[in-house]
Amino acid sequence: MAKKKYKFNPETLSYETVGLTLKARIWKWITYFSSSFALALIMVVLFVNFYETPRSKAIKRENKQLLTQYELLSKDLNKIENVLSELQQRDDNIYRVIFEAEPIPSTVRKAGFGGSNKYSHLEGLSNADLVIETAKKLDVVSKEAYIQSKSYDEVLKLALNKEKMLAALPAIQPITNKDLKRISSGWGYRIHPIYKVRKMHWGQDFTAPIGTPIFATGDGEIKEITGSNRSRVGLGLHIKLDHGYGYETVYGHLNGFNVKRGQKVKRGEIIGYVGNSGGSTAPHLHYEVHKNGKKVNPAYYMFKDLTPQEYDKMIAISSNIGQSLD
């Protein structure tokens, strides 16, 4: 940039130096630097947008690889979810059925995670939808896998206790009845012998002479011994036996007991004797099976001392009786 300017003087016929004012000098410098800065800025913008450095190229390659890995991870998580779903189905419908255990509620298996802001820190990322969806799947799979592992721990304990559980199941008839002639009334709606109306019969009746021994149908502990021999209503003298694993059995209309409350008994052990106490019209035993607090058909459990043919015959006999004895 020229520092001096010259002007021709016709009077002296020579060039004379023309000096710039301070304001003119400052404005010239401002103009110079502004144009230089604008040019530099344009060059930087063009460089950033149209020229890739080796580092930026490497970062782009890495991002592309990460995106591919996320997509593959999402597909793998889908496969794992399918495997977990199959394991859960087996757990609920096979293993727990075998061991007489309640399935895990779906509300527990599919419970939600955290609050709405759990993944907010991922929302600013590129491909945020894919990253957040993969993170959610990972959380779900992790929780379901944890629940399933705990479930298998419980199933393992059930398997180790299977022998005890099988011994506790009420799996025999409560009195000697090899020829099946003592079955008088089974589970279902029957004509009440006293009221002569159709009522639900919540157990199975066995006719037998007074004093006939009654057996514990599975291992357990005597929970209740109650009733009166003089009462003409209800079950009269009766025993409730707690077998554990959610099972209880009730033996009604007894004539006497052979056990005391809190006593532990084994399957086949004599616990009482047939009678005619309570609301009974003839000497017999009224027998009930309770599962998790609900009354269930006792006939479904009398398989231990019967052949398949005898079991089918017993079911047919108990279903055809039109009137109960209590």
Q: What's residue 84's pLDDT?
A: 79
Q: What's residue 102's pLDDT?
A: 75
Q: Does residue 173 surpass a pLDDT of 80?
A: yes
Please state the rounded mean pLDDT for residues 173-189: 83
Confidence class for position 52, pLDDT limits 50, 70, 90: low
The answer to whether the CB of 91 falls within 8 A of the CB of 84 is: no
Confidence class for position 36, pLDDT limits 50, 70, 90: confident
Please state the rounded mean pLDDT for residues 142-146: 81
- Cα distances (angstroms) measured from residue 262 to each of 31, 39, 168, 239: 106, 99, 16, 11
Q: What's residue 322's pLDDT?
A: 57
The pair of three-digit structure tokens given for residue 258, joined into one six-digit string: 């052979």
Mean of pLDDT over the chain: 80
* Cα(306)–Cα(311) distance, integer angstroms: 6
The answer to whether the CB of 225 falls within 8 A of the CB of 259 is: yes
In the chain, where the domains are located: 5-50, 54-160, 183-320
Q: What's residue 69's pLDDT?
A: 75
The pair of three-digit structure tokens given for residue 204, joined into one six-digit string: 């199975």
**Of the ranges 5-9, 96-100, 183-187, 309-313, the best mean pLDDT one:** 309-313
pLDDT, tens digit (0-9, with 9 covering 90-100), for 62-104: 777 777 777 777 788 788 888 878 888 777 776 777 666 777 7
**Cα Rg, the chain, nearest whole Å:** 45
Q: Does residue 60 surpass a pLDDT of 70?
A: yes
3-state helix, strand, coil in the chain (%, to 5): 40, 20, 35
* Cα(105)–Cα(120) distance, integer angstroms: 30
Burial 168-205 (b: 16+ CB within 10 A, else e): bbbbbbbbebeeeebbbbbbeebebeeeeeeeebbbbb
Confidence class for position 115, pLDDT limits 50, 70, 90: low
The answer to whether the CB of 245 falls within 8 A of the CB of 223 is: no
The pair of three-digit structure tokens given for residue 29, joined into one six-digit string: 């410098």
Q: What's residue 191's pLDDT?
A: 67
Q: Does residue 285 surpass a pLDDT of 60?
A: yes
Q: Does residue 287 surpass a pLDDT of 80?
A: yes
Lowest-confidence segment of 119-128, 162-171, 245-254, 269-278 by average pLDDT: 119-128
Q: Does residue 318 surpass a pLDDT of 80?
A: no
Confidence class for position 138, pLDDT limits 50, 70, 90: confident
The answer to whether the CB of 320 falls within 8 A of the CB of 190 is: no
Q: What's residue 194's pLDDT?
A: 62
Helices (H), 194-278: none
> 16 - beta bridge partners?
7
The answer to whether the CB of 292 falls within 8 A of the CB of 244 is: no
pLDDT, tens digit (0-9, with 9 covering 90-100), for 185-213: 777 777 666 666 677 888 899 999 999 99
* Cα(96)–Cα(87) distance, integer angstroms: 12
- How many Cβ atoms sit within 10 Å of the Cβ of residue 4? 8
The pair of three-digit structure tokens given for residue 38, joined into one six-digit string: 């604008």
Q: What's residue 213's pLDDT?
A: 97
Q: DSSP assignment, residue 104?
A: P
Q: Does residue 20 surpass a pLDDT of 70?
A: no
Q: Which residue has the tokens 């012998």?
A: 193
Q: Write down the pTM of the prediction.
A: 0.54
Q: What's residue 323's pLDDT?
A: 55
Higher pLDDT, 191 or 158: 158
Q: Could you give the percent of the chain with pLDDT greater than 70?
A: 82
pLDDT, tens digit (0-9, with 9 covering 90-100), for 253-284: 999 999 999 999 999 999 999 999 988 888 99
CATH of domain 183-320: 2.70.70.10
Q: Is 219 helix (H, G, I), strand (E, B) or coil?
A: coil
The answer to whether the CB of 210 falls within 8 A of the CB of 283 is: yes
> 270 - beta bridge partners?
215
